[in-house]
């Protein structure tokens, strides 16, 4: 297929949606706290502020079993027939995700994205294939096969990962329950995840940008499972060092052995190459929270655009598509770094304390703050 590009007007007309004077976009609303953001967030400050995107969870929580599945459905149509431009960026390839190679080669996404634990990639892949086959009898018969995308993190500290407790039914449950409103923290794939030696999991946020008089959205969803407490930075403040000192935890973990999966969605008309550039900026947001991307930590970002779909069965060899001007990517990059940083912070703040395998426990950020005597006003998420 050859695409003839139509120029999308940007340039001098491009701008961020300003944060109103005296108002900061809040994510810690129950405590009246917020990060100091440059860009305004969408209506719900979730990835689903990108129209058509839905998220669903299936959570397994029973003693040693602390795990689950999270799904991101990019649009409400048939993803195999109406694919989306997409890209992958691997910052550190210590991971076992599936479906990334074809995205790298073709620049297209043709299935929902599933998140789970490392040893459940296989069952999730099988279930997602079945899900896609049910709506597409031509797959594997009159046309090619399907590239399903499943990404993972290792939740073995809290979860009996060797038990491989995720089943197909849990994948189907997450897909059925996908909505525009969804929970954050220790839910779905995030149930057993750890972030900066605290309870991590699912986090999400969104940012608004205006180009040529139109408002667009960039959304992020993270599965956070990385970092050392001593390195944690929130809104520019090295709060992790203060927490370690307050907890008198000089003998804590010294290696970053976790991972993070970042899913980026936007309704900006970006092509696969530009989405690759977008995905690379997820690393900036990760680094802002204090990560140095450890040797055993897998950092992977997947980005897609909902602006225009790509037909599986093309009516013509040449198609006209919108093109976003490269000079206006500056604001897009800045918003991407910010939305990823906030999504990680929300994964920490939204999570509850969880006890799991062999009595291991990860405390929530809120619990640690309370136990150390630091008030909410003391931390830099203000």
Which one from 97, 98, 194, 297 is the annotated catalytic residue?
Answer: 297
Among 299, 338, 347, 350, which one carries the catalytic annotation? Answer: 299
Q: Which two tokens stand for residue 153?
A: 């993190």
Give the tokens for residue 372: 């150390």
Paired strand residues for 80: none
Tokens of 91: 């910052």
Q: Name which of 379, 341, 348 is nearest 39 in CA terms.
A: 341
3-state SS, residue 222: strand
Q: Is 16 annotated as catalytic? A: no
Residues 52 and 42: their CA atoms lie apart, in Å, by 14
- Could you tell me where the beta strands, DSSP code E, fall in the chain? 2-8, 15-16, 54-62, 65-73, 82-92, 108-109, 113-117, 149-153, 194-195, 198-199, 201-211, 214-225, 259-266, 298-305, 310-311, 318-324, 354-355, 361-362
Active site residue 299: yes
Phi, psi dihedrals of residue 311, rounded to the nearest 5°: -70, 135
Q: Which residue of the set 259, 305, 347, 364 is catalytic?
A: 259
- For the chain, the maximum distance between any two Cα atoms, rounded to a whole number of angstroms, is 67
Cite the active site residues.
259, 297, 299
């Amino acid at each position: 297929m050859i695409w003839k590009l139509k120029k999308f007007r940007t340039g001098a007309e491009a701008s961020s949606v300003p944060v109103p004077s005296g108002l900061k976009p809040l994510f810690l609303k129950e405590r009246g706290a917020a990060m100091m953001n440059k860009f305004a967030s969408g209506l719900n400050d979730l990835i689903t502020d990108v129209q058509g995107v839905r998220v669903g969870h299936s959570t397994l929580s029973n003693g040693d079993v602390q795990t689950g599945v999270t799904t991101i459905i990019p649009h409400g149509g048939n993803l195999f027939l109406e694919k989306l431009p997409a890209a992958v960026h691997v910052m550190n390839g210590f991971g076992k995700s599936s479906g990334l190679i074809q995205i790298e080669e073709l620049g297209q996404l043709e299935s929902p994205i599933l998140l789970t634990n490392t040893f459940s990639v296989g069952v999730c892949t099988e279930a997602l294939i079945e899900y896609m086959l049910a709506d597409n009898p031509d797959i594997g018969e009159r046309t090619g096969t399907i590239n399903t995308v499943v990404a993972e993190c290792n939740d073995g500290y809290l979860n009996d990962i060797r038990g491989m407790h995720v089943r197909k039914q849990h994948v189907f449950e997450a897909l059925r329950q996908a909505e525009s409103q969804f929970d954050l923290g220790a839910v779905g794939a995030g149930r057993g995840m750890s972030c900066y030696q605290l309870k991590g999991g699912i986090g999400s946020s969104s940012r608004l940008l205006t180009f040529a008089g139109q408002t667009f959205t960039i959304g992020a969803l993270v599965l956070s499972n990385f970092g050392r407490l001593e390195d944690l930075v929130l809104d520019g403040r090295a709060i992790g060092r203060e927490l370690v000192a307050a907890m008198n935890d000089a003998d804590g973990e010294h290696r970053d052995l976790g991972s993070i999966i970042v899913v980026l969605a936007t309704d900006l008309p970006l092509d696969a190459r530009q989405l690759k550039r977008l995905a690379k900026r997820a690393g900036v947001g990760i680094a802002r929270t204090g990560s140095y991307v450890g040797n055993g930590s897998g950092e992977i970002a997947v980005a897609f655009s909902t602006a225009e779909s790509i037909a599986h069965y093309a009516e013509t060899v040449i198609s006209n598509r919108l093109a976003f001007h490269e000079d206006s990517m500056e604001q897009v990059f800045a918003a991407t770094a910010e939305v990823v940083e906030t999504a990680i912070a929300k994964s920490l703040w939204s999570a509850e304390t969880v006890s799991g395998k062999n009595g291991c426990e990860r405390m929530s950020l809120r619990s640690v703050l309370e136990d150390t005597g630091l008030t909410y006003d003391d931390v830099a998420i203000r």
